[in-house]
Amino acid sequence: EIVYRPFCEYYTTSSGTKAPPRILQTSMYEPSQPWSYTACIKAPDQVVELNVGRAPDAILQTNFSISLPHEIMGFGGAFTEAAALNFHQLSDNGQKVVLELLFGRTGLGYAMGRVPINSCDFSIKSYNFDDVEDDFDLKHFDTSLHHDVQNGMIDFITRAQEAYADAWDHSLNIFASPWSPPAWMKRPTDQDSSNAIHASKMTYSHEPNCLRGELGPENSKYARAWAKYFSKYIQAYKDHNVSFFAVSVQNEPEFNAPWEACAFTAVDMTDFVAYHLGPVLKQNHPNLTVLGFDHNTDHVDLWMNTMLNATKSSHIAAQYVGGTAFHWYAGGMDRLLDGAVGISNLHRLRENLQKLGLEDHLVLGSEACHCPTTGYAGGDIAIYWSRAERYAHAILADMAAGVQGWLEWN
């Protein structure tokens, strides 16, 4: 049965012309060019064959004799402070139900998790584990992780690990991502006074690079301290029986966000990994995978070309970078194009990895969600059902493009 859904009205022209409304249509035949405009179906009595570019529905045919050329690690979500606090508001039985629904054999079977390093936009307030100014050796780093113990994040994570291990006899794959270093490591932002020495808070970021000092091998004591901070944090979590298999360099490095943020350019991130983060983690956590980028698919191929190709410090950084992380957002703050653009960039990324002989390079969809501004929360089923379909298509298209895992935010 063909079901026609009334989405056309949301894509009418604003100029008042008589041009027919159009919808954003997926192409089933050109995975590297997945989106194009097509005229809307005006009435259910029109006879239109599926998969000919005229109907918004699709037939999914599965050939189980053909396997993907890459291993799928799994799916998951983020262990934020907000998630932990809500989880612990439940009764004991409610918590058991949620753990089964998310990680159990009768539930979603989430196999992955993401943990913010320090606070993020789903924390009650900004916090970090060493707020002592110019503590370059991190002597005051809180190895007890008091805040993450108190807010229940570590308890939530360890119980999720147990639930997953009991159900699947495997370990939950967890990685960490920083939103912002402590403010004393950051350059002043446009929120600070003109004579400020460093940022006054973890929110917002100086652009194009948030870290104080240089990022090269010289005059870079703040970059070195931030790299050491990663290592201290990873070890402290390990001491709480939570081991990370990977860490991304920076969440959304292209976004000067009003919440915790730290901007990098592709060259800046490459230098930070090459001269600081990479050597520190290789020495202290040699089995950890470093994930580059961790932002929208708009520029994922361009960023990773810079980080992995043998130019300038890239040839140094490439030996430390074992994966790429990306987000599904696109198209500006209105979020109307989330999941609709950028898949072709994932194909370009995979092609470049093959050229570089990096077939084992991990590619993860590290964050996806529906922001309040997308309109789905307003109660209009046409809008939120269309985004649900977009979500499903984005996951399938990403997997076809060589992505090995896909995680939701929160």
Give the contacts of 214 (CB within 8 A, at least 6 positions apart).
220, 223
CA distance 151 to 85: 6
Q: Terminus-to-terminus CA distance in the chain, angstroms?
A: 36
Q: Is residue 367 annotated as part of the catalytic site, yes or no?
A: yes
Residue 354 CB coordination number (10 Å): 12
- List of E strands, 101-248: 112-117, 173-178, 246-248
Per the CB < 8 A criterion, the answer to whether 192 and 133 are in contact is no
The residue annotated as part of the active site, out of 81, 254, 260, 367, is 367
Q: Amino acid identity, residue 85?
A: L
Residue 297 CB coordination number (10 Å): 24
CA distance 24 to 389: 12
- List of E strands, 48-194: 74-78, 112-117, 173-178
Per the CB < 8 A criterion, the answer to whether 189 and 204 are in contact is yes
Give the contacts of 138 (CB within 8 A, at least 6 positions apart).
130, 225, 228, 229, 232
CA distance 302 to 311: 14
C-beta contacts of 359-362 below 8 A and 24+ residues apart = 360/322, 361/308, 361/322, 361/323, 361/324, 362/73, 362/246, 362/289, 362/291, 362/322, 362/323, 362/324, 362/404, 362/405
Q: Is residue 252 annotated as part of the catalytic site, yes or no?
A: yes
The residue annotated as part of the active site, out of 252, 254, 260, 408, is 252
Per the CB < 8 A criterion, the answer to whether 399 and 68 are in contact is yes
Query: Quick one: three-class SS letters along 303-345?
Result: HHHHHHCCCCCHHHHCCCEEEEEEECCCCCCCCCCCCCCCHHH
Residue 69 CB coordination number (10 Å): 8
Residue 203 CB coordination number (10 Å): 20
Q: Amino acid identity, residue 176?
A: A
Output the six-digit token pair for 218.
């010289």
Catalytically active residues are 252, 367
